Structure 1
Amino acid sequence: MTRKTGFLCDESYFWHNTGNGALFMPPGGWIESDVHSENPDTKRRFKNLLERSGLMDHLTQIKPRPATLDDIQLYHDYEYIERIRELSEIGYGDAGENALVGKDSYGIAKLSAGGAITAVKAVMNDEVDNAYALTRPPGHHAEADLGMGFCLFNNVAIAAKYARKHLGLERILILDWDVHHGNGTESAFYDDPNVMFISLHQDRNYPPERGSAEHTGTGAGSGFNINIPLPAGTGNAGYLHAMKEIVKPVADQFKPELVLISAGQDPSMFDPLARMMVSAEGFKHMTRFMMNIANKHCEGKFVACHEGGYSSAYVPFCSHAIVEEMSGVKTEVEDPFAQALHTLPTDELYSTQKEYINKAKEIQSKYWNL
């Protein structure tokens, strides 16, 4: 069944300048100048593939608007916002921990946060059935007063808080499948029972001190923060097992009115900043799984916001598979790397992966019927 899927992007997103460096380290000393990991190539190549395959012709284009200062202050401190603006005017700086700001990054980051809001509004106003927001810079690491891990403003957190305040939503589910823990989004809702945050991530990758299964929320938000750390090497089978064992039964009890995905395609096999083994087919199945939850509880209201993913060759195919599943439109594009992956254990569930998932399940069983 085809659906009316919105697609949000803006050329400005590709103009956010993170400078150069090896992976994420600035050049100098023994580090030769190279391309920074968080560069526009992965996202631009994804957009290009949508156009080349013809899938873009089936999508409803959504134009983002910049977030206002009031919108951004739904989560971020005014002093931090001003720091981003000042660094942007200077033309270069770090907003915290590997959160580089270039010339015009302040305006672009406002448009990125505003893009997430715009996508949510389009879905909630029934302009589209679901939406994919190809925003940049990413957001899920950004804390209220600190940029981290390439993130300036927390796009998904701001959009969720906007939906609570201005769209009247009572229950929002955020699933973060980026390979790195969404620490900023966790912080935004750690004591909030109205926004359930679930993070599937590689155990102790980044930030290494965040994302423990024991971190379940505080006060009224206890049990509404769910971390599912996974061991290196987890592939399609492990991710889907975690979703079946924990995400689905918890979501069925929470009954969200909107499902938001922090869609980082860095759990993929070829990502240079992670060690997971998810294929394009795996991302398709994960998308289908979460869309089924949205279909069951909130009339399919589902928004995916792009986060990480640093393999410029493979992220486009993983992301394309997600949008195919969201729209119900199958193109002629096949995963060109599938043949190289077919001998690898992406679809095998190992006992170590089960142990990690069972530990998280046991912890969450204190709050939910699992």
Structure 2
Amino acid sequence: MTLLIYDDIFLRHDTGHGHPENARRLENTVSHLRQSNQWKQFRIEKPRAASIEEVELIHPQAYIETVKKFADTGGGWLDADTVVSAASYDAALHAAGAPLTAIDLIMTGEEENAFCLIRPPGHHATPSRGMGFCLFNNAAIAAQYLRSKYRLERVLVVDWDVHHGNGTQDAFYQDPAVFYCSLHRYPFYPGSGRKEETGQGKGKGYTLNIPLSADTQSKKYLELFANAMDTCTASFLPEFILISAGFDTYEKDPIGGLNLTTEDFGTLTEIVMKAADKYCHGRIVSCLEGGYHLSALPLCIESHLKALLRR
């Protein structure tokens, strides 16, 4: 059975009126999954909060304290895009803890894969800075947790958000134990993700960026994604796969868009699952990143989840 990690605490991260990364993203998704009877097909678990020590696997204490102080004093803007409200620090700790909750259940053999329906998202958060709607880098913390607690030596992070995950890349750019693979629109926010960015030092060759023009069509995207998965898994032999699942590659997303249909996210998931079955016993944890079309996001996520359920 597929794990679905969710808690209403994520709705309390208040980004204010008109912000695209808002609680309705999750409210609409939960409502749709319940009305379509999908909800009952998952093992629903509430996340634990990540400990400060676990967040420190990626972020220095000074930055963590900055986020906490913003929340404790009523909130504010970390940058032009990124909001902290009074409840955001607690929500962010639980968002970071969601994949850790899933990992523990998967690594003990209870379940095979999981989707974390969480916010705030994470892949733009660098070790020392929140940006792009992101406070703590949930997928990066999960990758380091797999290494520190379970002693895994090869973790693959696959990122299909329309925006390049600069924070995840920064965290592991010199690290050969975490392979970061991203397909994204370019040139586009945040400005990183050129194909020449392949890692540094011991991490050289462990970053794969596939920048795509805005007119890239679905068929081409899926072909490039399948080839990328073949390339990085065959050489890297991952022991666990994490997905930064951004659904702003959907064709009508208001702040992204790369011409994918709702059904394409099922196909992307099947490609990852084929690799996971071959190399790492099917072990996948997927974390919600972007996706801002409020009526289509639930359908994109539903397609992703149906594939994880193998249905």
In structure 2, distance between residues paired with 1:243 and 1:53: 29
Structure 1 unaligned spans of 5+: 21-34, 330-370
Q: Secondary structure at the match of 1:82?
A: helix
Deviation track 1:126-150 (CA, whole Å, cap 9, x = no partner) reads 2211100001100000011111000
Mapping for residues 143-222 of structure 1, pairs under 5 Å? 143-208=126-191, 210-222=192-204
Q: Report if aligned partners of 1:213, 1:226 keep a CA contact under 8 Å in 2.
A: yes
Q: Report if aligned partners of 1:96, 1:146 keep a CA contact under 8 Å in 2.
A: no
In structure 1, distance between residues paired with 2:118 and 2:245: 11
* Aligned equivalent of 1:135: 118
* Aligned equivalent of 2:255: 273
Residue 309 of structure 1 pairs with residue 306 of structure 2: no
Following superposition, the deviation at residue 97 of structure 1 comes to 4.7
Deviation track 1:192-231 (CA, whole Å, cap 9, x = no partner) reads 11110001100121102x1111000001100001111111
In structure 1, distance between residues paired with 2:266 and 2:219: 13
Deviation track 1:76-130 (CA, whole Å, cap 9, x = no partner) reads 0111111100000111212245221001211111011011211122222222111
In structure 2, distance between residues paired with 1:134 and 1:235: 27
* Aligned equivalent of 1:18: 15
Deviation track 1:306-360 (CA, whole Å, cap 9, x = no partner) reads 001000011110110100110023xxxxxxxxxxxxxxxxxxxxxxxxxxxxxxx
* Aligned equivalent of 1:327: 309
Kindly provide the amino acid, as one letter, of the partner of residue 210 in structure 2.
I
Q: What TM-score, normalized by structure 2, do the two folds share? A: 0.98
Q: What TM-score, normalized by structure 1, do the two folds share? A: 0.82
Choose which of 214, 222, 225 in structure 2 pairs with 1:240.
222
Aligned CA-pair RMSD: 1.1
Kindly provide the amino acid, as one letter, of the partner of residue 134 in structure 1.
L
Q: Report if aligned partners of 1:236, 1:277 keep a CA contact under 8 Å in 2.
A: yes
Choose which of 227, 234, 237 in structure 2 pairs with 1:252.
234
In structure 1, distance between residues paired with 2:284 and 2:290: 19
Following superposition, the deviation at residue 246 of structure 1 comes to 2.6
In structure 2, distance between residues paired with 1:204 and 1:14: 32
Q: Secondary structure at the match of 1:147?
A: coil
Q: Secondary structure at the match of 1:148?
A: coil
Choose which of 274, 278, 281 in structure 2 pairs with 1:296.
278
Flag the 1:125–1:96 CA change in 2: closer, same or farther, 3 A. farther
* Aligned equivalent of 2:51: 68
Kindly provide the amino acid, as one letter, of the partner of residue 180 in structure 2.
F
Choose which of 101, 117, 120 in structure 1 pairs with 2:100.
117
Q: Secondary structure at the match of 2:76?
A: strand
Deviation track 1:254-287 (CA, whole Å, cap 9, x = no partner) reads 1101111000100001111113110111111000
Choose which of 85, 89, 96 in structure 1 pairs with 2:68.
85
In structure 2, distance between residues paired with 1:265 and 1:233: 17
In structure 1, distance between residues paired with 2:7 and 2:103: 16
In structure 1, distance between residues paired with 2:184 and 2:174: 21
Higher CA-based Rg: 1
Following superposition, the deviation at residue 233 of structure 1 comes to 2.3
Paired residues, number: 311
Q: Report if aligned partners of 1:140, 1:182 keep a CA contact under 8 Å in 2.
A: yes
Q: Secondary structure at the match of 2:264?
A: helix
In structure 2, distance between residues paired with 1:278 and 1:90: 41
Q: Report if aligned partners of 1:233, 1:275 keep a CA contact under 8 Å in 2.
A: no
In structure 2, distance between residues paired with 1:44 and 1:241: 33
In structure 1, distance between residues paired with 2:94 and 2:301: 21
In structure 1, distance between residues paired with 2:271 and 2:228: 12
Identity rate of aligned residues, in percent? 40
In structure 1, distance between residues paired with 2:185 and 2:157: 18
Which region of structure 1 is more displaced relative to structure 2, 68-77 or 239-248? 239-248
In structure 2, distance between residues paired with 1:306 and 1:54: 21
Residue 282 of structure 1 pairs with residue 279 of structure 2: no
Kindly provide the amino acid, as one letter, of the partner of residue 307 in structure 1.
E
Following superposition, the deviation at residue 43 of structure 1 comes to 2.0
Q: Report if aligned partners of 2:229, 2:271 keep a CA contact under 8 Å in 1.
A: no
* Aligned equivalent of 1:367: none
In structure 2, distance between residues paired with 1:155 and 1:86: 20
* Aligned equivalent of 1:126: 109
Structure 2 unaligned spans of 5+: none
